[in-house]
């Protein structure tokens, strides 16, 4: 027999198979997911959740599509978290020491509580990459924050109201445009696409039936 788990979604009790993820368990329970369900493979960060197991005081933070349900799990989803987004034109910026002060001055109010790192669903050292951004270490910040999915949980936990993932994003943009050397092979590939050199191959692929496309995708070579 299938082992079942008692779970609570937004305070309501459900009995679901214990081998499901939080996201699939919600669907099993009849909850229609319209928001907070993007790629379903842990990349988009749209399905952030906060949960607690009965008998524990410590909350846990995760992506719903990547975390299996547990018995006596109480779940609250966080499908959207408003961040302090700033508008800027990357072409008008330079990787100067004061750019973070101009756009994200709240990072200098960081109290070093490390709540951001402890809550990161990707186990990133969030406090460290914020520290790198404060010092003008944009390349280091870009490297440490590279796997961020922008789920927003770190910002939800931050007493200084820092928009961590937006700081990391700016650091990656500055690094890619101004600090890292130009990737000549990417520039050449973009030019070839613009010239239409792959149009015939794309037309051929688009004419294939869906089952063939799925087969090609499943058997594709993946770089290690």
Q: What pLDDT score was predicted for residue 44?
A: 84
Query: What are the DSSP calls for 95-142, one per residue?
Result: --TTHHHHH-GGGGG-----HHHHH-TT---HHHHHHHHHTT-HHHHH
- Burial 172-183, CB ≥16 within 10 A → b, else e: bbbbeeeeeeee
Alpha carbons 196 and 43: distance in angstroms, whole number: 30
Alpha carbons 190 and 212: distance in angstroms, whole number: 27
Alpha carbons 203 and 212: distance in angstroms, whole number: 15
Alpha carbons 19 and 67: distance in angstroms, whole number: 10
Q: Which residue has the tokens 């789920």?
A: 151
11: Cβ contacts below 8 Å, ≥ 6 apart: 74
Q: What pLDDT score was predicted for residue 224?
A: 65
- What CA–CA distances, in Å, run from 93 to 17, 56, 173? 51, 47, 10
55: Cβ contacts below 8 Å, ≥ 6 apart: 72
Predicted model pTM: 0.75
Q: What pLDDT score was predicted for residue 24?
A: 95
Please report, in tens digits, the pLDDT of each residue of the chain (224 residues total). 789 999 999 889 999 999 999 999 999 999 988 887 888 888 888 888 999 999 988 889 899 999 999 999 999 887 666 788 889 999 999 898 889 999 999 999 999 999 999 999 889 999 999 999 999 999 999 999 999 988 888 998 899 999 999 999 999 999 999 999 888 898 999 999 999 999 999 999 999 999 999 999 889 887 76
Alpha carbons 144 and 147: distance in angstroms, whole number: 8
Q: What pLDDT score was predicted for residue 22?
A: 95
Q: H or E stretch including 78?
A: none
| Residues 4-77, CATH architecture | Roll (3.10)
- What CA–CA distances, in Å, run from 50 to 31, 78, 181? 17, 7, 40
- Where are the domains positioned within the chain? 4-77, 90-179, 193-218
């Amino acid at each position: 027999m299938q082992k079942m788990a008692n779970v609570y979604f937004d305070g309501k009790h459900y009995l679901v198979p214990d081998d499901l993820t939080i996201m699939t368990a919600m669907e099993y329970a009849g909850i229609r997911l319209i928001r907070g369900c993007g790629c379903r493979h842990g990349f988009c960060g749209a399905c952030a959740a906060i949960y607690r197991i009965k008998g524990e005081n410590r909350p846990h933070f995760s992506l719903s599509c990547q975390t299996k349900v547990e018995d006596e799990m109480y779940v609250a989803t966080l499908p959207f978290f408003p961040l302090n987004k700033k508008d800027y034109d990357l072409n008008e910026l330079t990787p100067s020491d004061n750019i973070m002060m101009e756009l994200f001055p709240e990072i200098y109010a960081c109290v070093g509580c490390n709540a951001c790192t402890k809550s990161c669903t990707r186990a990133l050292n969030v406090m460290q990459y914020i520290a790198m951004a404060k010092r003008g270490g944009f390349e280091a910040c870009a490297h440490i924050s590279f796997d961020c999915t922008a789920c927003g949980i770190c910002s939800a936990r931050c007493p200084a109201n820092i928009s961590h993932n937006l700081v990391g994003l700016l650091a990656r943009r500055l690094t890619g445009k101004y600090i890292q050397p130009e990737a000549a092979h990417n520039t050449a590939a973009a030019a070839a696409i613009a010239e239409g050199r792959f149009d015939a191959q794309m037309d051929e692929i688009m004419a294939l039936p869906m089952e063939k496309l799925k087969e090609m995708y499943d058997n594709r070579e993946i770089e290690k």
